[in-house]
Amino acid sequence: MKNILFRTQVNASDSEEVARLLKTTGFFSPAEVEVAVELVQERRLKGETSGYHFLMAQGKMNDLLGYGCFGPIPCTLSSFDLYWIAVHPDAQGQGLGRRLMAMCEEEIVKLAGTRVYIETSSRPRYHPTRCFYERCGYGLEATLQDFYAPGDHKFVYRKILRFS
């Protein structure tokens, strides 16, 4: 975790860096990578009015080691979605994911957020992801059966950051 710079601004090169990072994990589909890149581009184009906020973890060689993307849920008073959190495979297992999560939560509180929701798949491939969320204090709030495909349910996790 030494020599990591955390930043909230999105740079011109971040679209490519996010795509590279997500592809390197071998975890995300091309469609998922495309959505992640679109969020970066939307933030670059519209700034804060995009509703997307980022926390980037940059290594000493200016490489993107991890990032989180979150934003307020429309029509709610203080609820936020965590859209993305990803860590480069070479940096996994060193606490960077937990640090990113904690820092995203701190940013959400600064933006008057009180609750965070995370959506993920029920597929076995996502079991480590769900365990990570639970270790970070998130609890399973809802299950939407067959949401993504038959047998692939959507799990919605929630964490209360502070009471409103």
3-state SS of the chain?
Answer: CCCCEEECCCCCCHHHHHHHHHHHHCCCCHHHHHHHHHHHHHHHHHHHHHCCEEEEEECCCCCEEEEEEEEECCCCCCEEEEEEEEECHHHCCCCHHHHHHHHHHHHHHHCCCCEEEEEEECCHHHHHHHHHHHHCCCEEEEEEEEEEECCEEEEEEEEECCCC
95-150 pLDDT per residue, tens: 999 999 999 999 999 999 999 999 999 999 999 999 999 999 999 999 999 999 99
CATH superfamily of this structure's domain 5-160: Gcn5-related N-acetyltransferase (GNAT) (3.40.630.30)
Q: Where are the domains of the chain?
A: 5-160
Report the chain's mean pLDDT, rounded to a whole number.
95
| Alpha carbon distance 69, 125 (integer Å) | 21
Q: pTM to 2 decimals? A: 0.93
Q: At 164, is the pLDDT very low, low, confident or very high (cuts 50, 70, 90)?
A: low
